[in-house]
Structure 1
Amino acid sequence: MFRHHDDIWRDFPGLAAGALLVPQPPAPGEAAAIVARHLTTARERLAAGPEGQFPAIQAWRRAFTAMGLRATQYRCASESLLRRLRRDGDLPRVHPLVDVCNAVSAAFAVPVAALDLARIDGDLEVRYATGDEVHLTFGGDREHPAPGEVTFADTGGNAHARRWAHRQSGLSAVSARTGAALIVAEAHHGSGVEAVVAALAEALAPARASVLTRDAPRFTP
């Protein structure tokens, strides 16, 4: 089961979220066409103005500030992707599933996390950290989120994200071994998550998708 803790919904009333179960990654050729389409949209948006002016990015900056973080030091994942796309003109290709999620994230300016479902121990909850959780970096180092930091914590005490949507864990990173995956999209600007979930569901069919609310916060993969 995936959910946001009640405290998160209380403290961030503008939160909008969606979750998807993807039974298997898309084929590389299929993914490439989807990525190209969504990156074209992202480039068109960037041509009209920098990512810092996007309402979705501004809302995440406000959320980071509310968490006591400098929004220009710790950026949400979608802002980091857009900055790289603006600088380099493209995004690196990592894995078909990750590439699709990154492209959709850039097109909508909304963070999209892709987690290997087999690497999640029990339930997964977005909540405030106690400080005991263990976060495995992509470099193999083990960290502990600071008490009160927002993280994706599973039943086994693994922290699958740092600073909410800033950085994912290497433990549940999608790889060549990944079968089923959990996809999570989150926004704070009060609209647009339905469109992000719909775009992901179309791109990753036959995914099972749900929009989450404070009254209906749970998604069961």
Structure 2
Amino acid sequence: MQFSHSDAMWQTFPELRAGGLHAEGIHAAADVEASVVSFSSTAAARLAEAPEGEFPEIQAWRRGFSRMGLKPTQYRCASEALLRRFRQEQALPRLHPLVDLCNAISLAFAIPIAVFDTEKIAGDLEVRRAVGDENYLTFGGENEHPELGEVIFADGEGRAHARRWTNRQSGLSAVRETTRSVLIVAEALHASASEDVGRLVATVADALAQHWPVAPKTAMLTSVSPRFEFQA
């Protein structure tokens, strides 16, 4: 399997830095609570100094959403949505150990992290503009068609596994109790994105190895090296 961004995406967003991680051996019995609390504490300390809208990581995504023709306060990147909810409620709901862990790391880094069940992805996964006939399954079970030109995560059968780039994932490839193989993607657009995404990917890999019997494969993606290949 291969994960990549289209050439057009790199041309439009040359500042993009992305990291990929693949792991097999995930299960729903891991106890990640201590790690979640630790990463959440990092986010809480930062939010005590300034709201998430002032973070350079979030401001960069807001500018990116504006360039996509989206109102950034209507459609937020996943990390901003998480930070906003965490600031208001002081906690996030617990969903699955892996999702909880990645959400907490996303809070700590203010960078969106997507987690996909690779068994639900057909062929390769590419971040690209929609042609308008792709299918997107909501978490409520409804089928939608992304708008023409919308940035999506598209697989080989034309199914969209995320809409509006880092705004919302699909219910189709969401992590569940039966999930065993995952692709984790982190993307950023801010000035220090290369360094920060590298640290984030290493942090996720270390955390996974602590809680599951996995040996994650990782990669950093750039316009020069835009593809992450792995066995799934």
Shorter chain as denominator, the TM-score bin is over 0.9
* Equivalent pair of 1:119/1:171 in contact (CA under 8 Å): yes
Residues 61 and 188, structure 2, Cα contact 8 Å, conserved in 1? yes
Distance (Å, rounded) in 2 between the aligned partners of 1:78 and 1:28: 25
Superposition TM-score, scaled by structure 2 size: 0.93
1:28 Cα deviation (Å)?
A: 4.5
Map 1:69-148; keep pairs closer than 5 Å: 69-148=70-149
Show the counterpart of 1:194.
198
Say how many residue pairs are matched.
221
Map of 2:212 onto structure 1: none
1:146 & 1:16 partners in 2: Cα distance?
A: 25
d(CA) in 1 for partners of 2:47, 2:30: 26
Post-superposition offset of 1:26 = 5.9
Instruction: State the Cα deviation string for residues 109-154 of structure 1 (Å, max 9, x = none).
Output: 0000000000000000000000011000000000010010000000
1:174 maps to 2:175: yes
Are 1:154 and 2:155 matched, yes or no?
yes
Paired letter, 2:120 = R
Structure 2 CA distance for aligned equivalents of residues 28 and 103 of structure 1:
18
Pairing partner for 1:211 from 184, 197, 220: 220
Q: Which runs of 5+ in 1 are unaligned?
A: none
- Give the Cα–Cα distance (whole angstroms) in 2 for the partners of residues 106 and 24 of structure 1: 25
What residue identity is the alignment partner of 2:223? R
Instruction: Tell me if the contact between 1:25 and 1:96 (Cα under 8 Å) persists in the aligned partners.
Output: no
Q: Deviations over 1:189-215 (max 9, x none)?
A: 032111111111111122111111111
- Distance in 2, Cα, partners of 1:150 & 1:62: 15
Distance 2:115 2:10 in 1: 21
Cα deviation code 1:138-191 (max 9, x no counterpart): 000000100100000000110000100000000000000100100000000032
Q: Secondary structure at the match of 1:199?
A: helix
Q: Which amino acid aligns with 2:187?
A: E
Q: TM-score, normalising length from structure 1?
A: 0.97
1:42 is paired with a residue whose SS is helix
Partner of 2:229: 220
The separation in 2 between residues aligned to 1:34 and 1:23, in whole angstroms, is 20
Task: Give the root-mean-square deviation of aligned CA atoms.
Answer: 1.0
| Secondary structure of 1:46's aligned partner | helix
Q: Distance in 2 between matches of 1:33 and 1:209?
A: 24
Task: Give distance in 2, aligned partners of 1:169 and 1:86.
Answer: 25
Identity %: 56
Q: Matched residues in 2 for 1:146 and 1:53: separation?
A: 30
Residue in 1 that maps onto 2:69: 68
Moved over 6 A (4+): none
Instruction: Provide the residue aligned with 1:4 in structure 2.
Output: 5
Give 5+ residue unaligned stretches, structure 2: 210-214
